Amino acid sequence: MPLSEHEQRLLDQMERALYAEDPKFATALEGTGLRTYTRRRVYLAVGGFVIGIGLLMGGMVVPDQIWVSVVGFLVMLGCAVFAVTGWRRGPAGQAQRPGPDAAPRRKAGMMDRVEQRWQRRRDEQTGGGF
C-alpha cells in the first residue's frame, strides 16, 4: 500500500533530520548502497580479469594448449563486460529513489532531439528577417 503525500512528506522530513543529526548512524542504517554494490562488482571484475590474464599467459607457455589462452581471453572479455554493465545500472532489487527536491528526468530520445533542432532552425529563420 503506497504512502499518502502527507505520510511521504513526514517520512522525508524525518530522514533529513536523521541525516542532519547523526549522518554516520543514518548511513549505517542504509545498508549496502549503490557505491558499495558498484565497488564490489568492479573488484570482482578486476579479480576475474587478472585470472583471465593468468590463463592467457599460461596457455602461451604450455605447448599445444592454446585453448587455455582462448578461455583466458574469454574470461577477460566477460569480466570487462561485467564491470561496464555494473557501472551503468544499480542493483536489481534496489530502486533508485530521487531526493525530495529532485525533478523526474526523462532521457531525450532521438525524435525529441530532432524536433528540438527543427524548432531551433525555424525560430532562427523567423527571427532572422525572412
User: What is the tens place of the pLDDT at every residue in 46-102?
Assistant: 999 999 999 999 999 988 888 999 999 999 999 999 888 866 555 554 444 444 444
**Whole-number Å distance between alpha carbons of 106 and 108:** 6
Count of Cβ atoms closer than 10 Å to residue 72 Cβ: 20
Q: What is the pLDDT of residue 13?
A: 85
Cα 123 → chain centroid: 37
Between the CA of residue 101 and those of 16, 84, 98, what are the distances in Å? 12, 30, 8
pLDDT in tens, 9-38: 888 888 888 788 887 776 766 655 667 777
Q: Give me 7's grid cell.
A: 505520510
Cα distances (angstroms) measured from residue 23 to each of 16, 28, 39: 10, 9, 21
- The rounded distance, in Å, linking the Cα atoms of 80 and 42 is 9
Residue 128, pLDDT above cutoff 60: no
